[in-house]
Amino acid sequence: MDHSTVNASSVYYEEIQHENSVLEENQWFDLQPIEKKLCAYSLGLGILFLFVCIVLFEVI
């Protein structure tokens, strides 16, 4: 194996290592305020919309 092949292979596998590191727990960090806000708004809108639909389709 010549030098260029060795070099290409090592770069390739460094990239693979990096790509596969995404599942590791040590990269985890707690929910950020914007994530909480996104979830809260989505769920809040969903529940609000649920009541609106119940009123529209069941009551009226």
Partner 1 sequence: MTTYNQAQLRQPSSQGFLKSEDWWAVWLGFFISLLGAGKIWNLDILGWVSKYGTWLDLNTAIQANSQAFAALGGIGSAIATYVFVLAITTTGAYFMGTRIRKFVAGFTVIYWLTVLTNVLGNYAYLAATPSNRGSFGISWSMSLGELGFVFALIAGLVISNFFPKLAVFLSEAAKPEWYIKTGIVILGMNIGIQTISALSLASTVIVRGICAVVEAYLIYWPIVYFIARKFFKFTPEWAAPMASGISICGVAAAIATGSAIRSRTIIPTILASVIIVFVAFELLVLPFAASTFLTSEPMVAGSWLGLVVKSDGGAVASGAVADTLIRNNALTQFGINYQEGWILMATTTAKLFIDVFIGIWAFILAVVWSIYHLNDKNAATGSYSVSKKEIWQRFPKFIIGFVITFLVVFLAGAYEPQILKAVKAGAGQANLLRSVFFGLCFFSIGLITNVRKLWHAGLGRVVGVYVVALFGFIIWIGLFISWLFYHGIVPPVI
Does residue 21 belong to the site contacting partner 1 (CB under 8 A)? yes
Sign of CA dihedral 21, 25, 26, 27: positive
Residue 55 touching partner 1 (CB under 8 A): no
Q: Which of residues 3 and 58 has its CB atom nearest to partner 1 in the complex?
A: 58
Rounded CA gap, 20 and 14, in Å? 10
Q: Which of 31, 50, 28 is nearest to 39 (CA)?
A: 31
Residues in the site for partner 1, rule: CB under 8 A? Answer: 5, 8-9, 11-13, 15-25, 27-29, 31-32, 34-35, 38-40, 42-43, 45-47, 49-50, 53-54, 57-58
